[in-house]
Structure 1
Amino acid sequence: MSGTRLTVDSASVVLGGRPALRDASLTVDGGELVGLIGPNGAGKTTLLRAVLGLVPLASGAVRAESSPIGYVPQRHEFAWDFPIDIAGAVLTGRTRSIGWLRAPQAADRAAVARALELTGLTGLRRRPIGELSGGQRQRVLVARALAAEPELLLLDEPFTGVDVPTQHLLNDLFGQLTREQGKALLMTTHDLAAAARTCDRVVLINGTVVAEGGPELLTDPEQMLRAFGLDRAMAGKGVIA
């Protein structure tokens, strides 16, 4: 481990007058991938947005020990009809360091090149983003986040709707980022199989943090019942609809 990169301490968020997250606490250390797992509406994306400062905290605190934070949104949140190629889309991840209306420098182009190589997109760099498959689009979003050279990376459902080769590539990449580069990753996912394979720890959430532990937590009937309201037979199999 390389020290704690993220601390969420008793964080609560109220959206539209209703609680979206209640008294949630977790940590993510350098060199580990933590899976954030729960049903739809459980507060997973809200927690990520609170870490990014996109939604205000009603109480509690969030402390990120490194800046910038890399963020991989869900694919539908990106404007795929924008007339830009892969390299240009990944370069937008450098906006904070480049500044508005300024030309990218050698360091920016080098960061983009490294991100493209890590995600297997170098040979496709000039392809328009509107022509990409779902798996290729997911890799673009990951590359865009990596171009910022973050020590903390937040990923919102990176395995949803991607093909098997992309799943394998992402599995390998996430392992490289944590074990070899010491980065901290916090990932929301509905894919229990992917979480069991890739995560060092999992955090079950349903409005608040229900439980946390190793990937074996995903087959704990009592904890899955608490997090998802599953019947005991389904919970015992670690099944989520």
Structure 2
Amino acid sequence: MFGVCSSLTKIIAKGPQLLHQQTRNTFILKRKWPPPLHKKGGKPSKLRGRHFVYDLVEDTNVAKKPDIKVILNQFIDGVGNAGDVLSLRPTIAYRDYLLPGLAVYASPENMDKYKVDESKPKRESEYSSAHVQRTMGCLSRLVLQITMSKSEPWILEPWHVRTSFRKAGYVVPEYAITMPPITIKGPDMTLQEKEFFVTVKINNKEEVKVRCRIHHWATGLERLPWVEAHWKKPLEALIPDQAPILENMPLAN
């Protein structure tokens, strides 16, 4: 008997250790049927089963936590400069900024360390918003395909370009589009192998040039064959004055 107990003790000792971890769980409850009051100095009434039925008022585990403030310790494209104070959701702050080491808590010590003064007006940035630089980079690499009819006459107008931007996933109003200096009309198959650019103004401040190409569309036997990865191939400039600029513009990978 003692041998069996000794063996069991050794097996339990060699087994995996149990992890005892404290958790912070707070539930705020309210009695559904409050117990009756008793007279001063009297004997309290006996609680019945219904007095132990509670309604959940608040579960702090699922309650929305307030935003936390962090200070950027370096420049982040599309976010801000070093020393900028951001107010973020806790999950985003921990995952995207604090854990990678891109920001620190906005504690009084860190406010003094990074010389942050929230009462001072923010200095004007080089760009009109934090996302302009990224937007300009995306548009400058875009090859915008403008689909036009192969059988019906047309003249290229800003709304054609706006619609093509929308098909590519960009919302660009017509007033922000500067068309080429010449009139482009068709159908003209010589336009199929040429390109030009339009200028897009962002927030009435920054300007970016976008490479455009005309594609003639038709159905049936008149339909043009598909060219694989056509956006990677440089084409001849439709407007000779735009050729040097188009050569320096990046092509999509």
- TM exceeding 0.5: no
Which one has a bigger Cα radius of gyration?
2
- Structure in which a larger fraction of residues adopt helix: 1
Higher-RCO chain (CA-CA 8 Å, sequence separation at least 6): 1
Which of the five TM-score ranges fits, normalised by the shorter chain? under 0.3
TM-score normalised to structure 1 length: 0.26
